[in-house]
Structure 1
Amino acid sequence: MYVIIMGAGRVGYLVARMLEEDGHDVTIIELDRERAKELSGMVNGLVIQGDATDTKTLEEANIKQAAAFAALTGKDDANLLACILAKNLNPNVRTSLRISNPKNKRIFEEVSDLKKYFDFVISPEEIAAEYISRNITAPGFDRVLFPKEGAEIVRFIIDEDSEVSGKLVRDLKLPKDALIIAVYDEKGNLIIPSGDTKLPKKGQIIVFAKNGVLSEVKELLEKKVKGEEVQAS
């Protein structure tokens, strides 16, 4: 897949590297001349020093052949304008809009006339703040956040000392707003569970749950069998 990224700060650069590692073709458009020069030796794809809010620059990057365009600078207005131009030049391109100000994110999502210009809106700052606050108030989870839905995907490790080890899923009595969506055994084999699935003696459980029941889920899945404490020698 051919992807154009506008802005190569920390977010844009990391996205470009990840895409290249997955085998995608990436072109970066970077306004800062020194940063563009630096990037040319750090990525495999083309680096264009220019302004992605300029039609000529987008055409130089071959926007009409791109499958995706990601505007990832720290400037909301520039990102929005670039997505609008990209869609006008290539109606089929999938646009990703970075919004640094969460207030702007809500405005852009609510204005119906703007929605047609971007397919995905992301606010790294908002996600980071949510992630930090959740780990402060409810620590100890290996989590993926869904801030808008008030839910998370959380991973739990089980072993022979886990009380749920070897039990059937239907016997766990999880709260209503929690669902086991995947189970991995000790060898890493994936199981899409049903109520009749027997949990492995050792492995991982992946749970999708609303924030309000996470503490209850954590207590249930991390509970150890009695007598697990090792006697001091």
Structure 2
Amino acid sequence: MRAIVVGGGKVGGYLGKALRKEGHTVTVVERSKPKGQRLGDTSNVLVIIGDGTEVQVLNKANAARADWVVAVTGKDEDNLVACQLAKTLGAKHVIARLNDPTNAPTFAALRVPVVAVTDMIVQVISREVQLEVEKLERVTLLARGELSLVEVDIPDGTPIRPVSKAALPPKTVLVALLREDEVFIPHGATELRPGDRVLAVTTLPEEDELREALGAGSDQ
């Protein structure tokens, strides 16, 4: 899958590296030359120095052939413009980082999907082709507010165990696991360790049960 990340700061750099590790072809567009050079020097991600809100720069990044264009700058207006231009150029999918929740209606009116949790973007892109009908239904329910996207930090002293032994609530799905600088897509055999951050989709009544299952209790 071909992905373009607009914005090469901490968020964009993290996403670019994570998506590259998942085996995707990744290009990062960064306006600042020093930031772009730093990212290029410390990763195997292709970096283009330029403004992702300009057509010629997106053309250089080959946005017309992109499966995903992800705009994650610190400015919502830049993310919106980059996504709109990318759609016009022919990108299959776009998604934007939302910095200010009050701007959500503008993105919705222009049909630009937004995500406020960075790691969820990795999950959406990495699994988009393989999403089953059940998972698509969960995404729809999430948008309606019937499900909750929850981050849980596994505390020190929690026994190491595989996901399959975690006694998760029946309507809960683990979508990503962060361990230091790495991102994992959890499966039954994936180990849950102290210090891991788990991203999960669950029902509102099951949130406390999920935290208990991960050893975090109800004080997170």
TM-score (norm 1): 0.57
Q: 1:85 to 1:22 in 2, by over 3 A?
A: same
Cα distance per residue 1:102-161 (max 9 Å; x no partner): 11023422x2xx11xx3x311249x9xxxxxxxxxxxxxxxxxx69435357999999xx
- Does 2:119 correspond to 1:122? no
Q: 2 CA distance for matches of 1:75 and 1:189?
A: 35
Partners of 2:146 and 2:204 within 8 A in 1: no
Q: What's 1:78 paired with?
A: 78
Q: Which residue of 1 aligns with 2:54?
A: 54
Give the counterpart letter for 1:102 in structure 2.
P
Structure ranking higher in helix proportion = 2
Count of aligned pairs: 161
Identity of aligned residues (%): 29
Aligned to 1:33: 33
Partner letter of residue 80 of structure 1?
A: L
The C-alpha deviation readout for 1:21-61, integer Å capped at 9, x for no partner, is: 11111111100111112112122132111011111111111
Please list, as runs of the form range in 1=range in 2, the aligned pairs for 1:154-169 lying within 5 A after superposition. Answer: none
Q: Runs (4+) of structure 1 moved beyond 6 Å? A: 153-159, 216-222
Aligned to 1:228: none
- Aligned equivalent of 1:179, options 163, 170, 173: 170
Unmatched 5+ stretches in structure 1:
128-145, 160-164, 170-177, 183-187, 192-206, 223-233
Question: What's the counterpart of residue 97 of structure 2?
Answer: 98
Structure 1 residues 25 and 76: CA distance shift in structure 2, 3 A: same
Structure with the greater relative contact order (CA < 8 A, sep ≥ 6): 1 or 2? 2
Q: Deviations over 1:161-213 (max 9, x none)?
A: xxxx9xxx9xxxxxxxx62568xxxxx9949xxxxxxxxxxxxxxx9643345
SS at match of 1:16: helix
